[in-house]
Structure 1
Amino acid sequence: MILPCVTRWKKSPVILMKNFGVLRMSTSKKLPYPLDFVIGQTALILGQAVPHYRTRRGITRIRDRVVQSKRLTLVQIDGEIFTFSAGDLKVSLRVLVHTDMTTILFPETLAFNRITLLLSGTPDECIVGCGEQFSTLNLKGLTVPIWVSEHHALGKLVGKFVRERIRGVNPSHRRPYAAHHTYYAQPTYLSSKGYALHADVDSYAAFTFHPTETHLHFHSVPKSVTVFHAKNPQYLVAALSDYLGRQPPLPEWVHEGAILAVQGGMDAVMEKLAVTKLHDSPVSAVWTQDWSGALHTRFGAQVLWHWRVDETLYPKLDQQIATLKELGVRLLGYVNPYLRKGTPLCDEAIQRGFLVRKRSGKPYWFVSTTFKAGMIDLTHPQAYQWFKTHIQTEMIDVGFSGWMADFGEYLPPDAVVYAGQGALWHNRWPVIWAKLNREAIDERGLRDTVFFFSRAGYTGITAYTNSLWTGDQHVDFSEDDGLPSALRAMLSMAASGVGVSHSDIGGYTTIFHMRRSPELFIRWAEMAVFTPLFRTHEGNRPPVNAQFDHPDVLPHFARLSRLHKALKPYLRHGLNQYQKTGIPVIRPMFFAIQDPQSWLVDTQFMVGDDMVVAPILKPGETQRDCVLPEGRWWRLFTGHSHDLGTHVIEVALGETACFIREGSDFEPLFKRLSES
C-alpha cells in the first residue's frame, strides 16, 4: 500500500549542504552559537519513558513515567563526527557545517525515545516563533510545547467567566504560559542572536529557553536539527521558507473587497449583498459555512458535518453561484475532516473502514462542542482518495471558489490509524489534511482561482495552504484570546516561516457573557484591512454579536472595504515579494529595526517594506505609542510626517494608524488614497 505522501520541505539538510559545500571541522574549531559544544560539556540527555495520554475536546495531557535517563558529555570531535559518552554508552552525531547553516544528523538506530539536546543561551536573548503564539511574543524563560492542539480548553473558558463575573472584565489579564495551547505548533524559532533553528521531528517536543541554556526535548529521535546563521532576521525567515516551502499564491480576485461571512441560506446571502451595494461596500466573496446544513446547539450556530449541499438552505446552488459570479462575487464554503455521527456519509465511512479507530477496532468518536463525530483516517490511501474526490464533486464542481479547511488538530495520540499509532501522526495530521485540499484543487486545474485557508498546522503545511488564519479568537479585547492575540499570532507565525496569514474580523468564540461590541468589530477591521485577506466571521452566536451591517459599524466597514480594494496593488506586490524571497507579507517590527527592544514589540506590524500599522488593541482608547524604523514616514490620510523613534498618535474610532515610508515606489498610490 502507498500512503499519502507529505512534502517535508523543498530540500533535505544533506542536499542543501551538498549545494553549499561542507566545511570539515577540526578538533580545535568551535561550532557557531548556539551549537558551540566543548569537550567535557554535557550536551545530550538520552532516556526511555512510558507516556500516558489523556485527551478531551482536542486538548491532550501527557505524563511520562521515566524508566531511564543518561547525561552524555562530549568526549571527541573527529571531523564531522561528534561523540558523546556516559560510561559504556557512546553516541555519535554527524555535524555538517557551512558558513550560513549547521545541521546535526542523528543516528536512526538510537535506541531511546526521549532525547534532549542542550544548546547555549544568553540572558539577553529573545526567542520568537515555535509556530503560533497568542499570549506572548518573546519565549525566553518559558517551556514551549510543540504539539498541535485545540486552543480553547473548557477549563480556561469557565475560569475566565468566573473571574470576570467576580472581578469584572480586565482585558489586560494574562494567564500563566503553562496553560498555553496552539492550533499551529512547529519546532522552529528565531533568536535575536542571529540564528534560526528547525528540528525535523514529528513527535511531541518541548523547547525550554533557560537564561543560559536552551533544552530541545523530543519524544522520538529527530532526523536532524538545523541552525541557520544571519544577522538580519529577514534573511533567516527567507532561509526557513526556502527550507520548508512557500505557500501557494492567493488568487487575485480576493482583494476586490471584503470576504463576507453570511449563514442562513441563499436569501440571507442576497439580502446582505444588497446592503453592501447600497453602501458602496465592495465584496469579493461571500463565505457560507452552513452550505451543508445548520445545527443549533447549546454552543450556538454550528455546521452540519455532512459535506453535501443542503437543498433547503441553498437550492440549485450551482446556478446561484453562477449568478453571483455575474455580479463579481464568489462563493466560499467550509469543510473539515470529520463526520457527524449518524449522518449517511459517516455511516458510509464506517462501513468502508475509513474512520480512525480505538484499539478495540471500533470508531474513535470525539466530542468537539455538543455532538459526537468520527475522524476520517487520512493515512488510509482509499479513505484519503474518497474524501478528496468528495470535496471535488460536492464543492469544486458545484462552483465554490474556496473554503475554510478547519480543524486537523484533534487526532488522539492513543488512536489507531492505518499507518500506525496516533501519537506518531498527531502533529502531521493537519499537514496531511492541507495536502488533501491542495490536491483537490490542483487536480481540477484551478490553482490560480480557487484557494483554501487553514487553522491547524505543523512543519510542511506552508507547501499546501494559501493562508493560515489565527483561529477562534474571543469576541473581546483580551490579551490571551481576543484582538491582541490575533496580531501576536500573525507575528509569531511570520517568525516560523509563514508568509500569508489573517484573522476572523471580530473574532469567533462567543460563550457565557461574551458579546461582540461595535467598537471591537471596527477596531479589528482597522487592523485586518492591511492583511492579505479582509474576512469577517459572524461568530458562533450571530444574534448577540455586532455584525458588519450594525448601524454603528456599517459606514466604517464600507470605507475599509473600499480601502482594502484600493490597496490591492501594494498587497499583491507584498505577496509576489514573498513568492520570490520567502519574506512574509505581515512582519514583526524587528525585521526593520536593529534594536534588541524591537523583539518585544507585539502591538504593531509592518506590511511589506513600506508600511507600518499600529492598531488600537484596547477598549476605549484613542491614543497609543507607535515605533517607527529608520527613515522618514508619513501617516496615511493625515500626511503628518515622523522620523525614527517612538511617537504618540491619536486614533479615533474608525480611523487607521498607518504610516508610509517616504520614497516608496507605491507613494503615488498612497497619496491618491490620502486625497480621496
Structure 2
Amino acid sequence: MKFTDGYWRLREGIEAHCPAEAYRILPEADSLTVYAPVRRIERRGDLTDGTVLTVRCSSPLPGVIGVEITHFDGGPARGPELALCADTATDVQVRVDDESATLTSGSLSVRFARGDTWRMDFLADGRVLTGSGANAMAYIVADGRSYVREQLDLDVGHHVYGLGERFGPLVRNGQSVDVWNEDGGTSTEQAYKNVPFCLTDAGYGVFVHHSGRVSFEVGSEAVARTQFSVEGQKLTYYVIHGPTPKEILRRLTALTGRPARLPAWSYGLWLSTSFTTSYDEETVTSFIDGMAQRELPLSVFHFDCFWMREWQWCDFAWDPRTFPDPDGMLARLKARGLRICLWINPYIAQRSPLFAEGRERGFLLRRPNGDVWQWDRWQPGLAVVDFTDPAARDWFAGHLGALLDQGVDCFKTDFGERIPLEVEYFDGSDPERMHNHYAYLYNQVVFELLEKRRGRGEAVLFARAASAGAQRFPVHWSGDCEASFAGMAQSLRGGLSLGLCGFGYWSHDIGGFIGRPDPAVFKRWIAFGLLSSHSRLHGGWSYRVPWEFDEEAVDVLRAFTRLKMRLMPYLGRIAEEAHTEGLPMMRPMVLEFPDDPACAHLDTQYMLGDSLLVAPVFSADGRVRYYVPEGRWTSLLTSTTVEGPRWVEERHGFDSLPVLVRPGAVVPLGAVDDRPDYDHAAGDTLRIHPGSGSTVTRIISADGRPAAVFTVDRSESRTRVTADRPVDGWSVLLVGAALPSTVRGAEAEAVADGVLLRARTGTVTVEAVG
C-alpha cells in the first residue's frame, strides 16, 4: 500500500507520524524498549500531548531479533497469529550508553541512536545490514483507518526474494505485493500461497508476524527501501541474520516450523483422472493397465473431484452411479502396489447431506446475523467449515477417517483461498486475519489426521493454499497453470519463490492444467516434472496419460521416471535437509551461489539439491540458454563437460535437457528404477566427479536414519572411498577418469563414463592410484 505522493508529500487524506528521537530507553534482562515521540522533546510543554510510538526489541532465538511497534495498546488481542516454534528465553545482551542503546542476540544486534535524529540499525560482525531512519517507521491514518508502517534500507546491488509463491520475476525489487491469498491461477500477480517473509542477498531476511493482509512495497514506493505495513495499531516483525541465504532459511524455519518428513513412495509418479474428464473404475483400470504395459512406473493414483456426486462437494461419499463398489475397487488398486489419493476441499455444498448437519451443529461459518454464510460459486449454496471449532475439526476429520479405513492413503487438499470476511468464527478470530491463516488450519486438520492414523513420516498432502508456517504440512503444488511454455515457466518461478520462504517440497501439474498442451509442451514438461521434488500428471479438461499425445511422450516419461527412481538415494538426502534444516529440495541458483552476481536474477533454471543444476527447456525446438557457475560441470545424462562461469546455448531432443553435476560432487544412483521405496543403500553406484578434498555422502532410509555413510577422500593421485558399515553390492564410478594402475578392494573396468569400480560386500576401502 502506498502512502506518499512522491518524495515530498503524502497522498491526500493521509497523516503520517514518524519517530523523531529515542527519548526514553528501558533496558531489561531480555528486551530493550524505546519510547519514540513523533516530535523532538525540547521543553516540558512538549510532553503534554502528541503521539509516542513504543518500540520493543527482543529475541526468540540467537541471530533473530523481533521488533514490536505499538501506537495504542488498549484494544483486544486480534487473532489468529501463527504460534512460533522458537524458545522465548534466548539470552541477549543489552547495553546502553550516552550514544546508543543496543540489544544483541547471537550474531545480530539492533542499535538505537541517541541524539537529535531517529535511527535504528541492525548490525552483524560490526557491519550495518539494514536500518530504519528518518520518516521510515510510522503510525499512519489514511481516510480514518489506522496503519503501522516500517521501511528498511535497501542498499545498491541488494536483491529481495520471497513473499510466498509468486509467478513473476524471482527478484521482488520494484514490485508491490499484497500478502493475501487468492484463487487467481499462476499467470497473474495473485497467489494461492502468501508468506510475509522476504529474504535478501545482503545477509538478512524479514518475517512479519501478522496473519492478515501485509502490504509490501519493495523498492517501489521508496526505491531505496523495503516497506511493509499492516492495518491496525501494532506491527511485529523479525530480522533474521544469515549471513548466507541458507542460514537465513534455517533460522526462519526454526522460528515458523520445518517441513515434515515424507514417505519415500510420495516421490514416485502420481497419475490423476484429471478434473472434468469422464471416468469410472474401467477408465481408471485402463490407465493403470496402460502404464504397466508400457513399463511406466506408477506410485500413486489420484481421483479428482468427480469421485463424489455433482453438487454435493464435499460429502466424502463415492458417487454410487460411477463407483458402485469403492471398497472392492480400492482393494484391487492397492493389490497392484498403488497408493490412493482423493480430492477434497473445505467447502460444503447445500445439497450435501453434511450441510444440514453442519448448519444445525454450528460447524459452518456464519454471518453476524446468524445465517450460514453461502454463495453459489464453485458449488450451489456453498458453505465453509469453521476450523476454529474443535468439534468441527473432529467432524471433518471423522469423515476423512472413514475414507482411510477404506484404504485411501492421502488427500489433495484443494482450495481454501476464497475465505469470506463478513463472517463470525467460533473462537472469535478476526475474519481479516483468518483469511490467510485459514489455509494453515485446514491443512493442519488433514495432515495431523494422517499422522495419527498412518504414523509420522507417512502423512502427505497435495495442498494448494498456504500461509506462514504451512510448510509443516507438505506437499504443496502450484495450482492452475496454463498448458503452455509460459505456464511452465510461471510455475517454476512460483516454486522457486516459495522455496525461499521455508517450503521444502513443491510440485506442479505436468503438462499444465488449463487447456490441452501441445505434445511438445507436454514432453518438455515431463522432464521438468520428474526433476521436481514431487511429480504428478494432472490436467483440467483432458487426460494426461502420455499415449494421448504420442508414443514419444511414452518413451520420455519412461526415461525420466526411471531416472528419478535411480536418483532416490540422492533425493532422500536432500529431502532430509528439507525436514531438518528447512532448505528446499528445488533451490534457486542464488541460494547455492550467493556470491555469484550472475545468479541473482536466474529463475528459469535451478539446483535440485546442492549438486544438480537443472535447466528446463521452454521451447519446442529444444533450444535452451542457461548459466553455468565456476568450475567444470558434467552432464548427468551424457558425461560431457562444461567449463564455467559462462552462458551456454544448446539444443536438446525431447529425451534430454541440461542436468549438470556440480564440480567435485558425489551423486549416488540407486539400483532400482521402477519404484521409489526401496533400500537406497543396497547396490548403489557412487558417481564421483573430479575434484579434491573430502566429501561425505549420506544415504538416508525412509525413517530419516542414515542407512550408510560413504566418505570420499581425493587428492591428485588417489581416491579413497570408505563405507561406514556393511553395504550390499555397491560400486564407484570415477567420472572422466582413466583406468588406474592400482586398485584395492574392488575390481576395475573402463566404461564409457570413466572407470567403474565394483566393491566387494561389506565395509570396504577402494584405493585408486595413478
Question: TM-score when scaled to structure 1?
Answer: 0.79
CA distance in 1, matches of 2:155, 2:175: 14
Q: Report if the CA contact (8 A) 2:313-2:352 is conserved.
A: no
Measure how far apart 1:68 and its partner are. 5.8
Q: Report if the CA contact (8 A) 1:276-1:558 is conserved.
A: no
Measure how far apart 1:261 and its partner are. 4.1
Structure-2 residue corresponding to 1:96:
58
- SS of the residue 1:427 aligns to: helix
In structure 1, give the amino acid aligned to 2:73: T
Structure-2 residue corresponding to 1:232:
244
Structure-2 residue corresponding to 1:559:
559
Question: Which structure's relative contact order is higher, taking Cα pairs within 8 Å and 6+ residues apart?
Answer: 1
Unmatched segments (≥5 aa) in structure 1: 1-46, 48-63, 154-174, 296-301
Structure-2 residue corresponding to 1:609:
610
In structure 2, give the amino acid aligned to 1:238: R
Cα gap change, 1:356 to 1:223, in 2 (>3 Å): same
Measure how far apart 1:101 and its partner are. 2.5
1:628 aligns with 2:628: yes
Measure how far apart 1:661 and its partner are. 2.1
CA distance in 2, matches of 1:198, 1:134: 20
Unmatched segments (≥5 aa) in structure 2: 1-9, 40-49, 76-138, 140-145, 669-684, 689-732, 736-750, 754-770
- SS of the residue 1:441 aligns to: helix
- SS of the residue 2:226 aligns to: strand
In structure 2, give the amino acid aligned to 1:100: G
Cα gap change, 1:255 to 1:89, in 2 (>3 Å): closer
Q: Report if the CA contact (8 A) 1:413-1:424 is conserved.
A: no
Structure-1 residue corresponding to 2:507:
502
Structure-2 residue corresponding to 1:279:
294
Counterpart pick for 1:383 among 385, 392, 412? 392
Higher mean displacement: 214-223 or 569-578: 214-223
Structure-1 residue corresponding to 2:719:
none
Q: Which residues in structure 2 correspond to 1:572-611 (within 5 Å)?
A: 572-593=572-593, 594-611=595-612
Structure-1 residue corresponding to 2:42:
none
Instruction: Output one character per residue of 1:425-449: Cα deviation in whole Å (capped at 9) or x when no partner.
Output: 1111000001101221122243333
1:492 aligns with 2:497: yes
CA distance in 2, matches of 1:427, 1:121: 27
- SS of the residue 1:186 aligns to: coil
Q: Which residues in structure 2 correspond to 1:159-170 (within 5 Å)?
A: none
Structure-2 residue corresponding to 1:289:
304
Instruction: Output one character per residue of 1:433-492: Cα deviation in whole Å (capped at 9) or x when no partner.
Output: 0110122112224333342121111112122x12111111111222xxx11011001110
In structure 1, give the amino acid aligned to 2:596: D
1:643 aligns with 2:643: yes
Q: Which residues in structure 2 correspond to 1:365-444 (within 5 Å)?
A: 365-369=374-378, 371-393=380-402, 395-420=403-428, 421-444=430-453
Q: Which residues in structure 2 correspond to 1:325-364 (within 5 Å)?
A: 325-364=334-373
Structure-1 residue corresponding to 2:162:
129
Measure how far apart 1:656 and its partner are. 2.6
Structure-2 residue corresponding to 1:310:
319
Measure how far apart 1:114 and its partner are. 1.2
Structure-2 residue corresponding to 1:109:
73
In structure 1, give the amino acid aligned to 2:262: L
Q: Report if the CA contact (8 A) 1:516-1:546 is conserved.
A: no
Structure-2 residue corresponding to 1:462:
471
Structure-1 residue corresponding to 2:184:
151
Counterpart pick for 2:36 among 59, 74, 84? 84
Higher mean displacement: 648-657 or 208-217: 648-657
- SS of the residue 1:426 aligns to: helix
Structure-2 residue corresponding to 1:251:
263
Measure how far apart 1:603 and its partner are. 0.2
Measure how far apart 1:73 and its partner are. 2.7
Structure-2 residue corresponding to 1:75:
22
Structure-2 residue corresponding to 1:162:
none
Q: Report if the CA contact (8 A) 2:521-2:620 is conserved.
A: no
Structure-2 residue corresponding to 1:57:
none
Higher mean displacement: 82-91 or 186-195: 82-91
Structure-2 residue corresponding to 1:220:
232
In structure 1, give the amino acid aligned to 2:370: G
Structure-2 residue corresponding to 1:532:
533
CA distance in 2, matches of 1:188, 1:597: 24
The structure with more helix, counted as a fraction of residues: 1
Cα gap change, 1:226 to 1:450, in 2 (>3 Å): closer
CA distance in 1, matches of 2:380, 2:199: 40
Instruction: Output one character per residue of 1:356-391: Cα deviation in whole Å (capped at 9) or x when no partner.
Output: 122332222234446441111111222121111111
Q: Report if the CA contact (8 A) 1:246-1:582 is conserved.
A: yes
- SS of the residue 1:240 aligns to: helix
Measure how far apart 1:221 and its partner are. 4.6
Cα gap change, 1:602 to 1:110, in 2 (>3 Å): farther
CA distance in 1, matches of 2:313, 2:687: 44
In structure 1, give the amino acid aligned to 2:282: D
Instruction: Output one character per residue of 1:64-109: Cα deviation in whole Å (capped at 9) or x when no partner.
Output: 9968643333333635223322252112211237973322134481
Measure how far apart 1:291 and its partner are. 5.9
- SS of the residue 2:20 aligns to: strand
Measure how far apart 1:609 and its partner are. 1.0
- SS of the residue 1:490 aligns to: helix
In structure 2, give the amino acid aligned to 1:381: P
Q: Report if the CA contact (8 A) 1:73-1:86 is conserved.
A: yes
CA distance in 1, matches of 2:491, 2:38: 46
In structure 2, give the amino acid aligned to 1:390: H
Q: Report if the CA contact (8 A) 2:305-2:344 is conserved.
A: no
In structure 2, give the amino acid aligned to 1:248: A
Instruction: Output one character per residue of 1:199-257: Cα deviation in whole Å (capped at 9) or x when no partner.
Output: 11112110111221222111235563111122311111111121111111111112344
Measure how far apart 1:571 and its partner are. 1.2
CA distance in 1, matches of 2:305, 2:62: 53
- SS of the residue 2:461 aligns to: strand
CA distance in 1, matches of 2:425, 2:561: 45
Structure-2 residue corresponding to 1:163:
none
CA distance in 1, matches of 2:389, 2:343: 23
Cα gap change, 1:135 to 1:314, in 2 (>3 Å): same
Report the structure number with the largest CA radius of gyration.
Answer: 2
- SS of the residue 2:370 aligns to: coil
Q: Report if the CA contact (8 A) 1:257-1:564 is conserved.
A: no
Measure how far apart 1:496 and its partner are. 0.8
- SS of the residue 2:163 aligns to: strand
Q: Report if the CA contact (8 A) 2:269-2:536 is conserved.
A: no
CA distance in 2, matches of 1:392, 1:355: 20
Instruction: Output one character per residue of 1:28-63: Cα deviation in whole Å (capped at 9) or x when no partner.
Output: xxxxxxxxxxxxxxxxxxx9xxxxxxxxxxxxxxxx
Q: Report if the CA contact (8 A) 1:622-1:650 is conserved.
A: yes
Measure how far apart 1:669 and its partner are. 5.2
CA distance in 1, matches of 2:18, 2:663: 56
Q: Report if the CA contact (8 A) 1:462-1:498 is conserved.
A: yes
Cα gap change, 1:675 to 1:403, in 2 (>3 Å): farther
Q: Report if the CA contact (8 A) 1:404-1:452 is conserved.
A: yes
Structure-1 residue corresponding to 2:764:
none
Question: TM-score when scaled to structure 2?
Answer: 0.70
In structure 1, give the amino acid aligned to 2:34: F
CA distance in 2, matches of 1:65, 1:422: 29
Q: Report if the CA contact (8 A) 2:258-2:579 is conserved.
A: yes
Q: Report if the CA contact (8 A) 2:417-2:435 is conserved.
A: yes
In structure 2, give the amino acid aligned to 1:598: C
Cα gap change, 1:474 to 1:257, in 2 (>3 Å): closer
Instruction: Output one character per residue of 1:645-669: Cα deviation in whole Å (capped at 9) or x when no partner.
Output: 2222222223232111243222545
Cα gap change, 1:259 to 1:148, in 2 (>3 Å): same
